[in-house]
Structure 1
C-alpha cells in the first residue's frame, strides 16, 4: 500500500507524537541518556507550549507505561477530581441542567503536572530541571505557531477582547492575532516553571526530593494559591451567558495525588490490549475488539463497506455502554468484569446486523438495568446559552486564504498524544489534554488556563458519571498499550474526544488483523460515528451519522448508505491524529523498534534511530 511516509525503524529509540517539536524533544532526551519516562515527560511539557490550543499545564493526562525493570504495565491516573464545592445541587441552584463548557465552573483539579511527576519519580532518571528545560526554552524564547493555534485564537478573539482580558494580553500580543509560523512566547509560563525548578533545587540535590518539592509547589504552594485566588475572586463570563466564579480551591489541590493502577485488559488473538480504568472511556476499545474477534474481519478489506459497517456498529454498542455504565470506580460500582465477559460480548456482537442501528442500545451486564441521563438537557441548555464562542471542545475558525498554511487545516482534534520506546524496552503512551487556551481565562500570575473536564459529568442523580465532590469525571482521554504473545509490543493513541476509541480500534485492527505496518494502518482511509450524546457541552445527541474520509470509493459510500447509515463525506485526510511505536526482538534476540505518525494536518512526526 502507498504511504505518505516510511515506517521508522531503529534499535536505539523511537518516538512519535502530534507535534514535531515534541517528538524531537523526546528523541533528544533519549540521545542524551534519558530513558523513555524522562523523554515522554519532557515531550509532554513541550506539548503544553507548542499545542496550547489542545492542552496546557492546567489540564490532565492519563499515562500507560511498560517498565522493563518492573516487568509490568502501569496506568498513571492524571485525571483530577471535582472540587469539594462542586455538586449537582450547586449547579442546579444556578439554573443549570449541564455543567458549562467554558469558564471556571467546569474546572477539575489539574492532574497533568502530578501525573508526569509521579511517572518521573517512580521510573525516570533525570532531574526535573532537565526535564522541564525544553518547555521553558520554548515558552521563554518562542516556538512557531502552527496554523491551528491561530485558528483557535481567531475563533475566540471577541471573547478575549470583550470578556477575558487576561487571555487577550497573552494571545493577542499588541492587540493583534499572531500570524501562523510566527515565534510566540509565553514568558509568564516560563517564569512559573522556572520558579518551580528553583524551589525544587532549594530542597537539596537528591532527585526524588526535588520532585517532591516541585509537587509541593504546585499542589500546596504558590501555584495552588494563585489558582485558589483566581477562582474565588474572578467572575468569569462562560457558556451560560453569565459570569461565575470558580469552585476550585487550594484544599482540593492539596488533597490530590496521581495514582498508579493496574490497567484493564482484553485479549484479541495474539494480542492483549491494555487501557486505563473505567474513569476513562478506554474500556469501550476493549469491548469493540472483544465483539469483533469472531466476525471474520480478515475477509473484509479495510476500505470496504463490510469492514466499516461492522466496526462502526460495534462502536455504537460500546459507546452506548459508556453512557450507561462507566464512571469513577472509587465512588461507583462499575461492572468491568461483566462488561468484558465473553458471554456478554458475544451477545452484544449478535446485535450487529446487516443494517445500521438507529437506536441507542446500552446493554444489561449481569442482568442490571441501564440508567441513562436526561438527553433533552442539551436542547434546554441551548435555548438559554451563549454559543457564540463554540462548544466545550476547542473552537476553530477558518483563516483567510492568504498563505499556503490554510491548505494544511484538514485535521480535527482536541488533545495531544505522545509515544516513546527506549533502547531498554521501556514504553510510554500518554494523551495530554485540557486547559487549552480557549477553555477558561489565562491566570495572569501563572500564564495558563484551567481545564473544563467537569463538563463530561452529568447532573442527573444516580448515574455512574454523575458529578460529585472528589469524583473523577469520566474522560474521553484514552492511551493504549498492547502485548503480543505475552510480550510488550506497541504503544499508540490519538486525540479526538469521542473519536479516540473509534480511530484507535480501527487502526489496531488494520495492523493486527490485516498485517498493515504502522504507517499503512495510520494512513488508510478512516471514519467515525456519532451515535451518542457528545461528551462535551452542550451534550447534544446525534444518532446514526457516519462520517467518512473522502478517499473511500463512491461505491463504498453508496453501499453504506443502502445499509441505512446517514453518511457524511468529509475531506480526504480529515479523520484521526494517530501515532504508534512498537518493539520486538529479531532472530538474534536484538531489540528492533518501529514508529509512525499521522500525516493529517502536516504536524505529527515519528523519529528514531
Structure 2
C-alpha cells in the first residue's frame, strides 16, 4: 500500500498534530527539557493562533494523559458548561426550537484555558510565560494564513462586514480578504495572553501558583468580565436569522473549574482503549469495538466490502445508542456499563445483516426504554456530506468550523492525546477587548424536556471531541485522534482497526483509505441525519463501491485523500513512534 511519508521512530520524543508549526513547537519544548505536558500545552496554544478557523482560546479541550508514575489514564475535562440563564423556557420565549449554530446563544464556558493550565500545573515543569511564548510570538509577528482559513474568510466576509463588525475589524483589516500564505497577526489575542501572564506573575512567585493565578485571572478576572460585558450589551445575528444577546455571564464563568476524571475503558483482545465519559461521544468508539467483537471482522480482508459494511453497520447501532443515552452524567443517568456489556452487544450485533440498515435502532441497555429526540430532520435538497472536512460552509450560508488534534510522547513515557476545538472565528463575533470569540458547543443540547441531552443550566453539552489512548498487553502503546465532529469516532476507529488487524505501521494505518457513515443524528445545527449515507474515499476501489451499493448503502465517493486527519504517537518495542496525516496538507509529526 502507498505510504505518503515514513513512520517516525526514535527514543527521545515525538509530537504529531494537525499543523506543522504546532508540532515543531511541541518538539522544541522537548528539546529544551520540557516534558510531554509542557510540549502538548505549548503546541495547543499555537494551534489556537495558526488554525483559527478550527479552534480558539474561547473553545474546549478534552485531554487524555498517561502518567507512568501513576500507571493510569487521566481525563482532563476542558468542556465548559451552560450558563444559569440557558434554559429551555428561555429559548421558548425567544421562539426557538433549536439552539443556533452561530452567534452568542450557543456559548458555554470556555474550557480550553483551564484544561491546559491544569495539565501543566499538575504534570508539567515549565512556567506559564514559557508555555505561551511561541503562541504570543506568532500572534504578534504573524504567521502564514492557511488556504482553508482564507477560504472560510472569503465565505463569511459579507456577513462579517454587515453583521459582525468586531470580527471584520479583527480579520478583514483591509478592503480585501487576506490571501492564502499572507502574514496575519492577532495583536488583540497576544495582548490578552501577555496581560494574563503579567497578572499571574504579580500574584504568585512559584510556577504552580502562577498557573493557578492565571486560571483565576481568566475565569474570575478581566477575561470573564469582558465576556460578560460583551454578551450583555451586544445584539448578534445568528443562524436563526435574528439578532440575539448572549445568556452566558461573568458569574457563570467564575463558577467553573476544569476537572480530572477517570477514563472510560474497554478491552478488545489484547488491547485496552480509553476514552472520556459520556459527556463526550468517546464511549461510542468503545461500543463499536464491543459490537465488532461479536462479528468475524478479524477474518475479513481490511477495507474489503465485507469489512466496510460490517464496521458501518456497527457504527449505526453504537451511534443510535449515543443519541438515545449520552449526556452529562451529573444530570442524567447514563447506563454506560450496560451499553458496554458483552451480552448486550452480542444481542445488538445480531442486528447486523447482509444489507444496509436505514433505521435508527437504539437499544434497551439494562431493560430501559430509549427516548430519542424528535426535532432532527433529513436534508432537503442540500449537498450530501455537509459537516465533513476542515471547514464547512453550506450553500445556505451556514458556517461550521472543525477541530485540531495533538499527540505527544516523551522519553519518560508520558503520553498525551488532546482534541482542542471551538471558538472558531466564523462561529461567533470577536470580543474586541480580548481578540477572540467564544465557542458554540451549546448547539449540541436539545430544547426538549426529558432527554439525556436536554438543555440544563450547568450541564456539559455532549461534545464530539474525542481523544483516544490504548494499552497493548497491559502496556502503554498508542495516543491518537482526529478532527471531524461526528466522524471522529469513525475515522479513529478505522485507523485503530487498521493498526490492529491490518498493519502495525502507524503511517500506513493513517494513510489507509477512510470511510464514514452519516446515518446518525448530527451533533451540529441544524441537526440532520442522512439514513444509509456512506462516504468512502475513491481509493477503496470501484469493486468495493459497487458491492456496497449492491448491499443497499447510499454511497458517496469522495476525493482520494479527503476524509479524516488522524495523527498518533506510540511506544512500541523500546522505540517511540509517530505518524501524521497527509490530508489537508498541513499536519506533520516530528521527533527523534
Give the conservation status (yes or no) of the 8 Å contact 1:121–1:208. yes
Aligned match for 1:595, one of 565, 575, 578: 578
Over aligned residues, Cα RMSD in angstroms? Answer: 1.8
CA deviation digits over 1:323-352, x for unaligned, max 9? 000000011100010000010111111111
Per the alignment, residue 444 of structure 1 pairs with 432
1:230 & 1:84 partners in 2: Cα distance?
A: 17
Per the alignment, residue 44 of structure 1 pairs with 44
Give the conservation status (yes or no) of the 8 Å contact 1:393–1:536. no
Q: CA deviation at 1:514?
A: 1.8
Give the conservation status (yes or no) of the 8 Å contact 1:62–1:77. yes
Q: CA deviation at 1:377?
A: 6.5
1:533 & 1:396 partners in 2: Cα distance?
A: 17
Distance change in 2, residues 1:393/1:594 (3 Å): closer
Q: Which runs of 5+ in 2 are unaligned?
A: 395-399
CA deviation digits over 1:440-496, x for unaligned, max 9? 000001000110000011011110000100000001000000011111110000000
Per the alignment, residue 266 of structure 2 pairs with 266
Per the alignment, residue 513 of structure 1 pairs with 501
2:528 & 2:284 partners in 1: Cα distance?
A: 20
TM-score (norm 2): 0.96
> Segments of 4+ in structure 1 off by > 4 A?
376-379, 390-398
Per the alignment, residue 448 of structure 2 pairs with 460
Per the alignment, residue 278 of structure 1 pairs with 278
Q: CA deviation at 1:69?
A: 2.0
Q: CA deviation at 1:393?
A: 9.8
1:206 & 1:153 partners in 2: Cα distance?
A: 42
Q: Is 1:33 aligned to residue 42 of structure 2?
A: no
Q: Is 1:187 aligned to residue 187 of structure 2?
A: yes
TM-score (norm 1): 0.94
The DSSP-based 3-state class of the residue aligned with 1:498 is helix
The DSSP-based 3-state class of the residue aligned with 1:577 is coil
Map 1:519-558 to 2 at 5 A: 519-558=507-546
1:116 & 1:196 partners in 2: Cα distance?
A: 14
Q: CA deviation at 1:297?
A: 2.0
Map 1:323-342 to 2 at 5 A: 323-342=323-342
The DSSP-based 3-state class of the residue aligned with 2:538 is coil
1:349 & 1:306 partners in 2: Cα distance?
A: 15
CA deviation digits over 1:131-186, x for unaligned, max 9? 00000000010011110100110111111010101101111121310011111100
Q: CA deviation at 1:394?
A: 7.6
CA deviation digits over 1:183-238, x for unaligned, max 9? 11000000000001101111232001101110011000000000000000000011
The DSSP-based 3-state class of the residue aligned with 2:540 is coil
Give the conservation status (yes or no) of the 8 Å contact 2:102–2:440. yes
2:523 & 2:392 partners in 1: Cα distance?
A: 18
Give the conservation status (yes or no) of the 8 Å contact 1:102–1:392. no
Give the conservation status (yes or no) of the 8 Å contact 2:376–2:521. no
How many residue pairs match? The answer is 584
Map 1:280-299 to 2 at 5 A: 280-299=280-299
Q: CA deviation at 1:395?
A: 4.9
Map 1:228-243 to 2 at 5 A: 228-243=228-243
Aligned match for 1:604, one of 576, 587, 590: 587
